[in-house]
Structure 1
Amino acid sequence: MALLFPAVGFVCSADAEEAFRTDGSDDEKLPWFEIQPGKFPPPGSAHYFAGELIEQDHVRRTGEIRVSRTDQQRRSHWDLPIGFRLLPFGSLKYHGAPAALCDIPIGTHLHGWYYVKDKDEEIPTIFYNRKSLESDFTKAYRLLDDFSYYDEQKKLFQVEAIDLEAMKLTLRGVQAESGEAEESTFDVELTPATRVFQGKQFATLQDVKPGQKILYNLTWATLYGIGRCTDLWLDEESRELARQRQLEQHRLHIKYRGAPGWIDEVDNQKRIVTVTLFDNVDPHLLEDFKVNVAAQTVVAEPTLQSYDQVNDRKPGPIVAVREVEKAPGSSGIQIQVQPQLLLEGFRPGRIVRIFPSGWPLVTIPQEETLWPERD
């Protein structure tokens, strides 16, 4: 990597003095931060809430979340859905590793960070003109399943008791590194369909014993208690296997579609396009971006869809790889490529996907592309 240098163009979107509301602030009169085109948001500016994935269009990176119940809601707000679309730099994690929306099953309970909708965006009401308290937050920045959410916090859950007649599992939160345990316990519901993993194999509910430190995934969260358990990982070996399996799935997905980023600057005379890569890609893959390595650059849209990546690609070497200041959504890696021809889509603020040498550039399933046009 070259020296750290000040980022050019579209990097961070908020001045130090700009005031906006956050989850940690008490001033409800402040506005929530609004995403600016082609700019990364400042740290801590997203709004958190959890819910269950009830609908998805993985090609366009959109879906619906049934928002979990909270003490802030009235009964009329319970269980109402909101639509979301992932930001171009929006990321997902599943089983502790980066993921695509198609990797996450319907019914998965997700922890999410969102930004407010566009001012002219209309939010539909349902069920006698009701809408969720979170209905204004339609731009998804990060979505994590329970496994990933607690894995990032280095938190596990110690089994205190299991009742196979009542199908209840009693758990206590524990810090994985210090072993510090929380005072309170809680129950999650088990079902005959709950998947149990131990070591390199499937296990059964009979293998769940007090004292084990586990991770779980939930569905039907907050409908009837904490939620219904879909998956249990009883030991670190099974959890690491889940992480590695999902990580390899993610790497395969990205290599066949290109690493996404947006254009910061274009030097028309020298045909140099400066791109900041997003952080929704495994950092190990970004190590393939090196100076003098051949690359193929493909125009994409905010959904990260390309048109016809095989025929639209423009070859040219990577002429610089630099570290820039990291921001939410930014990998902190900025590259410069020199394609043989500058396309209309090679403009500041536009999205591209880049394939360094060694990545397969083949025709992907047609339903994922923007060409030919479909109704």
Structure 2
Amino acid sequence: LLEDDVSFYQRHGRSWKILGTEQGGGPAPRLKLSVEPVGPPVEGGINKAALFDIDEATRIWKNRQLVGMDEIQAGLEVQVNLTWGPFESLATTDIWLDPESLEAFREIQRQRHLRLIRSRFLPGWVNEVTNHDTGGGEMSLTLFGGMDPLLYKEIKQAENPKISDAHVTLRTWRYHQEFAVPSQRTHWQENEDPPLGSSGIELKVTLPQMLDGFRPGQVVRLKGHWTYVLLPFDEWLMAPEDFEQASRMRLP
């Protein structure tokens, strides 16, 4: 499970109490935010007082908007997101001074996620394929986990989702809607307690055309009733050779 710091610590009932700020030393002196953990110990987390880098690039949120560093006061319980700073220090990217600001920020991130997946289509992997002698065939697949529940609801409402083959990196074709094949869903099953990475949603479809990428273990992407958007150039697969090239690390 990959998640940012604020999601990780809040999921474990943890916040941070601000003790104050102090000027750091060393070859790259930076202003430090002094905090101590509030809440239960977290396995794999920071369980003692800590110093986090803070500067004018840190986004400080209060009352659902950005505020200045002067709003940071000792005694406040806050949530933070962290990144690496100089010399293995931890630096703050965002500080939320109240729950309302954090919820507003989460909704912004959620809407970005919805926009991204609706334009790139919902990913899944192929479980089984049956090719018909006269063309077309049947395919069973499982949708990836970790997506917003609304996306699964929307794809369920689409009884004829268009399906495009994709690479394991999730890249797909430039004109992914035009190259996608319309399908007819024949089965939808939601399994409880799926393994990590799986949504637990399995579906079967019939297709009038079987693309080369429709093979067991391969990745596909499903389009619901979403507005079509042309993908950015750096996400394109332009030729079958791109599948092979994308599977290897290429150094400059």
Aligned partners of 1:366, 1:298: CA distance in 2, in Å?
A: 17
2:228 alignment partner, one of 361, 364, 371: 361
1:290-339 Cα shifts (integer Å, max 9, x gaps):
37712100000101111231321100222211023500110111111222
Uncovered stretches (5+) of structure 2, i.e. residues with no partner: 25-29, 41-45, 246-252
Aligned partners of 2:157, 2:60: CA distance in 1, in Å?
A: 46
Q: Secondary structure at the match of 1:191?
A: coil
Aligned partners of 2:221, 2:179: CA distance in 1, in Å?
A: 11
1:34-81 Cα shifts (integer Å, max 9, x gaps):
xxxxxxxxxxxxxxxxxxxxxxxxxxxxxxxxxxxxxxxxxxxxxxxx
Give the superposition deviation at 1:161.
2.6
Q: Secondary structure at the match of 2:154?
A: coil
1:352 aligns with 2:220: yes
1:316 aligns with 2:179: no
Q: How does 1:213-292 map to 2 (within 5 A)?
A: 213-221=77-85, 223=87, 226-269=89-132, 271-290=137-156
Give the superposition deviation at 1:255.
0.4
Give the superposition deviation at 1:146.
2.0
Aligned partners of 2:23, 2:9: CA distance in 1, in Å?
A: 25
Give the superposition deviation at 1:271.
2.3
Q: Secondary structure at the match of 1:338?
A: strand
Q: 1:328 to 1:351 in 2, by over 3 A?
A: same
1:89-119 Cα shifts (integer Å, max 9, x gaps):
xxxxxxxxxxxxxxxxxxxxxxxxxxxxxxx
Give the partner amino acid of 1:154: G
The structure with the largest helix share of the pair is 2
1:157-176 Cα shifts (integer Å, max 9, x gaps):
11123348983322121239
1:9-54 Cα shifts (integer Å, max 9, x gaps):
xxxxxxxxxxxxxxxxxxxxxxxxxxxxxxxxxxxxxxxxxxxxxx
**Contact map agreement 2:78 2:95 (CA 8 A) in 1:** yes
Give the superposition deviation at 1:231.
2.0
Q: 1:195 to 1:309 in 2, by over 3 A?
A: same
TM-score if structure 1 supplies the norm length? 0.55
Q: 1:154 to 1:318 in 2, by over 3 A?
A: farther
Aligned partners of 1:349, 1:231: CA distance in 2, in Å?
A: 39
Q: Which moved more, 1:249-258 or 1:146-155?
A: 146-155
**Contact map agreement 1:290 1:318 (CA 8 A) in 2:** no
User: CA RMSD of the aligned region, Å?
Assistant: 2.6
1:230-286 Cα shifts (integer Å, max 9, x gaps):
321111111111111011000000001111111101232482211100113212210
1:192-214 Cα shifts (integer Å, max 9, x gaps):
33221111211111111122221
What residue is the counterpart of 1:50 in the other structure? Answer: none
Aligned partners of 1:189, 1:221: CA distance in 2, in Å?
A: 7
Q: 1:221 to 1:340 in 2, by over 3 A?
A: same
1:178-227 Cα shifts (integer Å, max 9, x gaps):
xxxx9842222222332211112111111111222212223334725x42
What residue is the counterpart of 1:327 in the other structure? Answer: 195
Q: 1:254 to 1:149 in 2, by over 3 A?
A: same
Q: 1:183 to 1:284 in 2, by over 3 A?
A: closer
1:161 aligns with 2:20: yes
What residue is the counterpart of 1:305 in the other structure? Answer: 171
Give the count of matched residue pairs: 227
2:161 alignment partner, one of 264, 282, 295: 295
**Contact map agreement 2:189 2:201 (CA 8 A) in 1:** yes
1:147 aligns with 2:6: yes
Q: Secondary structure at the match of 2:100?
A: helix
Q: 1:330 to 1:222 in 2, by over 3 A?
A: farther
TM-score if structure 2 supplies the norm length? 0.80
1:371 alignment partner, one of 229, 235, 238: 238
Uncovered stretches (5+) of structure 1, i.e. residues with no partner: 1-141, 177-181
**Contact map agreement 1:159 1:210 (CA 8 A) in 2:** yes
Aligned partners of 1:292, 1:193: CA distance in 2, in Å?
A: 43
